[in-house]
Each structure stands twice: as structure tokens, then as C-alpha cells.
Amino acid sequence: MAYTEEELKKELETKEYEYGFYTDIESDTFPNGLNEEIVIAISKKKEEPEWMTLWRLESFKIWKEMVEPEWANVKYKKPDFQAISYYSAPNKKPKYDSLDEVDPELLDTFKKLGISLDEQKKLAGVAVDIVMDSVSVATTFKKTLAEKGIIFCSISEAIKEHSELVKKYIGSVVPQKDNFYAALNSAVFSDGSFCYIPKGVRCPMELSTYFRINQAGTGQFERTLVIADEGSYVSYLEGCTAPSRDENQLHAAVVELIALDDAEIKYSTVQNWFPGNKEGKGGVFNFVTKRGLCEKNAKISWTQVETGSAVTWKYPSCILKGDNSIGEFYSIAVTNNYQQADTGTKMIHLGKNTKSTIISKGISAGKSQNSYRGLVQVNSRADNARNFSQCDSLLMGNECGAHTFPYIEVKNKTAQIEHEATTSKIGEDQIFYCNQRGINTEKAIALIVNGFSKEVLNKLPMEFAVEAQKLLEISLEGSVG
């Protein structure tokens, strides 16, 4: 039976699906600190094959030799890497006994996002009293994918069950030594997703980490590997619009995408980590390495909406290795209060007739700093490479900052590179115009921001776009007096 996304959604609405996906593992946390024993212990805990253990150890060795990068336009107190516990199994003990104990501000946000009560409980870490059996949904979901030969599971499962694929591709796009955080992730990653689409297969539904079986929340060091075999297509959704609070301050994920000949990968992210409070206290540091490799005629699109984190450092990139391959980057980054974001992309043109498009929308409010950093590199063999970049910044108030750092390195005379940048401010006249039509200031800002971000929002899968829109509104609430 073909199972459409629509049908699946319906079924999910009627069944309390999420809880059934959860497998209980006794709480189990490693002591703080990082050394070879810890790396080996993580690998052992996850029952990994030996090659994986060795790969982790190699990564650890590389990491030890590296220093944390300084060049991003962000300031923060460096994490103490010996003060972190590198393994913590999903804890079955709930944090709270009822919703009454949860921060009302958080609940308020849940409400605005239209998250169901039960889901609110789950997200806030409240004990869930009804555990529904949704195995059937999960099974149907898995079955549809399996019929097409699609593999979608946790990275840990993949390391055991699909060892040869993982072994072939892990680290092939983001090598262990790529950067400080990538090396750290390679040594200690404990969770993440794996996805493989076989030759010529169009994945019939949006793959979302949300649906993944046996996955309890996002790990601190996530590792994602997506492989689209020749001529295949997949749209992958990462993240969740619900605000994620986490006692882990540092998050360093690695995402690797491989699009083989004629394949296409759409990777959409909505990120809403806790940004810290209005005074800039707390909040997550989000240091992410995301990179995709395009073979011949392949295409990778990154679309992201970033509203969270205290500090974000993130540059989803494309290596356009094959001739005629295409890389796209569509991004909205919102910063408010004391948030700092340094995001952007790298488009590396290696093949002939390669094309890249970069649309970056930065929105800054409060006392935040929002930087775009982009590199377009055209190598000597990349004849007729083309790039179009557009970086727009929208400022709200006088205390925030927007910065654009476009780097262009061209080693081939046939390249065509276009770069456009604009900075605008939400004007009082715009607000008054909206007010006069009966639209209050808060709503007016949301409208203006949505208009500003439209080109990127349009790239998101419909359902995600609606949520992302709401999220933008919420993140900017109260940002103009």
C-alpha cells in the first residue's frame, strides 16, 4: 500500500504517536572529562565495530592537537571541555511531575506555537501518563520506506546494521581534521540520523528526525549522514520549532550530505535552541559543521531558519565537484536581545558549469549581532561557474548590528559572480501605515519580517514554512517598544 504523507499525517493526528517511539534505557551518565578511555567507552556503550572505535580515537588525537577557532564574529566564554559529560543515555526519569512546575514563559511559547498539551509535557520533560501504542504507525512508516529500499534510522543503528555504507561515507565530506568542533564531534558523537536513498528512488515523504524511531531528543554531539544514490531525491527536515531547552550548553553537530550523480537533496532546518534570557544569560552555543558533496548533475539545497542559540556558528556548504552540479543556500537568521550569530555558507566550485545561489536574510533586533560570512570559491578547472549571492539585512532599533563578510576567490576567468547586499530598517512610517490599517505594532513587525524573509520561507516545505513563520513572530516579540 502506498502511504502518502497526507495519510500519515492524519493517522498521526489521531494517535498519540510520539511516546510509543521511545525506548526506555536506564539513566546512565559518564563522569565529566574527555580522554581516550571515555572515547572507547562511548564506542563500547554503543556496541560499535572496531573500525568505528579506531576512527573515533583517531579523531580524538586530531582534536587534541587543534585549537578553538577565533575568527568568527562572536564573543563567548569558551567551554571547558573537561567539564562536560560526553555520554548520557536518555533518562527515563521525568524532570517534573506536572506542567505546573514548568516555567510559565516556556509554556506560553508552546501555546503560541499551537503545540498540544501532551506534546508540551514531553518537550518540557514532564512525566507522560498516557503511553499509547503507536507501533502500527511506526511500522507503516518504516514499511513504506523499506518497500523503496530507503534506509532511515539512527546513526548508531546504521553503524551496526549498514556498516559498509557508513564506513565508506562518514568523514568523506567533513574530514575529522576539518575543524576543531568537527574533530570533537567525530570523537564523541553519540546520536544522530542516517539516511540512504537507493538509485533512482524518489523518497515519497519528507524525512524528518521527528519521525525517527527510538530517538529521544537531540544529542549534544549529533552526527547526520545522508546519502542520495544516483538519480534519487530526498527532502530532509531537521529540527523542531518548539523551543528546545537543554542543560547542555555546547552543541557541536556534524552533517554530511552526499548527492551522487543526478541526485538531489533538500535539507531544511528550523533551529530554535534556547537563546538565553533577556539579559543574555544561559543559552546554547551552537557550533555546527554542515557540508554537502555534489557529484555530476547533482543538486543540494540548504534551507535554514535560525532563531535560537546564544551563539551560533554555522556555515552549511556545498562542494560542487561534479560537472553541472548545483548548490543552493537559503537562510534566515534572527537574532534578538544578546544573541550572536555568525552564519553563512561556502560554495566550492570544482566542476564545470557548476552553479550556486546564496540568499541570506539576517534580522537583528535588541542588542544582538548578526553576521553573514560567505565564501564563493571557483577553482581553475571550473569553467563557466556561476554564482549569485544576495545578502539582505533588516535592523530593528539602534542597538543591534548586521555585518556582511563576503569572500570571493576566483581562479577561472570564465566565472560569473554576482553579489548583492542591502541593509534596511523597519521604519516608523511602515509601522504607522500598518497601524492605520488596524494592525498593531507587534503584528506589523511580524508582517514586515515575513515579507522580508519570503524568498527563503517559500523554499521550505509547506508545513514547516507555516511553523517557521510563527516562530519568527515569536522570536521578535517585544523587540520594538
Partner 1 sequence: MLKINNLHARVEDKEILKGINLTVNAGEVHAIMGPNGSGKSTLAAVIAGKEEFEVTEGEVFLEGENLEDTSPEDRAHKGIFLSFQYPVEIPGVSVTNFMKTAINESRKAKGLEDMPAKDMLKLIREKSEMLEIDRKFLSRSLNEGFSGGEKKRNEIFQMAMLEPKLAILDETDSGLDIDALRIVANGVNKLKSKDNAVIVITHYQRLLEYIVPDFVHVLHNGKIVKSGTKDLALELEEKGYDWLKQETVI
Q: Give yes or no for residue 430 binding partner 1 (CB under 8 A).
A: yes
Round to the nearest angstrom and report the end-to-end CA distance of the chain: 55
Which member of 375, 435, 470, 477 binds partner 1 (CB under 8 A)?
435
Nearer of residues 262 and 392 to partner 1, judged by Cβ: 392
Q: Give yes or no for residue 451 binding partner 1 (CB under 8 A).
A: yes
Nearer of residues 314 and 361 to partner 1, judged by Cβ: 361
Q: Give yes or no for residue 470 binding partner 1 (CB under 8 A).
A: no
Q: Give yes or no for residue 452 binding partner 1 (CB under 8 A).
A: yes
Length of the chain: 481
Which member of 453, 469, 475, 479 binds partner 1 (CB under 8 A)?
453
Which of 301, 276, 279, 275 is closest to 290 using CA atoms? 301
Kindly list the strands in the beta sheet with 233-239, ordered across the sheet, starting from the edge strand earlier in the chain. Answer: 207-208, 233-239, 264-271, 299-306, 326-335, 355-364, 386-395, 416-425
Round to whole Å and give the CA distance between 122 and 100: 14
Q: Give yes or no for residue 69 binding partner 1 (CB under 8 A).
A: no
Q: Give yes or no for residue 384 binding partner 1 (CB under 8 A).
A: no
Which member of 44, 105, 443, 463 binds partner 1 (CB under 8 A)?
443
3-state secondary structure of 238: strand
Q: Give yes or no for residue 462 binding partner 1 (CB under 8 A).
A: no
Nearer of residues 73 and 450 to partner 1, judged by Cβ: 450
Nearer of residues 216 and 431 to partner 1, judged by Cβ: 431
Cell numbers for 374, please give them. Answer: 560567505
Q: Are 376 and 347 in contact (CB under 8 A)?
A: yes
Q: Give yes or no for residue 428 binding partner 1 (CB under 8 A).
A: yes
- Residues 115-144 as b or e (16 or more Cβ within 10 Å = b): beebbbbbbbbbebeeeeebeebbeebeeb
Size of the site for partner 1 (CB under 8 A): 23
* Residue written as grid cell 560499535: 48
Binding piece for partner 1, criterion CB under 8 A, among 153-161, 284-292, 343-351, 448-456: 448-456
Round to whole Å and give the CA distance between 321 and 454: 30
Nearer of residues 104 and 438 to partner 1, judged by Cβ: 438
Q: Give yes or no for residue 427 binding partner 1 (CB under 8 A).
A: yes
Which of 354, 346, 358 is closest to 389 using CA atoms? 358
Which member of 39, 319, 434, 474 binds partner 1 (CB under 8 A)?
434
3-state secondary structure of 163: helix
Q: Give yes or no for residue 447 binding partner 1 (CB under 8 A).
A: yes
Binding piece for partner 1, criterion CB under 8 A, among 152-160, 192-200, 250-258, 451-459: 451-459
Which member of 45, 177, 352, 454 binds partner 1 (CB under 8 A)?
454
3-state secondary structure of 111: helix
Q: How many CA atoms lie within 13 A of 77 on its CB side?
A: 6
> In one letter, which amino acid is 39?
V
Nearer of residues 143 and 443 to partner 1, judged by Cβ: 443
Instruction: Note the residues at the interface with partner 1 (CB under 8 A).
Output: 427-430, 432-441, 443, 447-448, 450-455
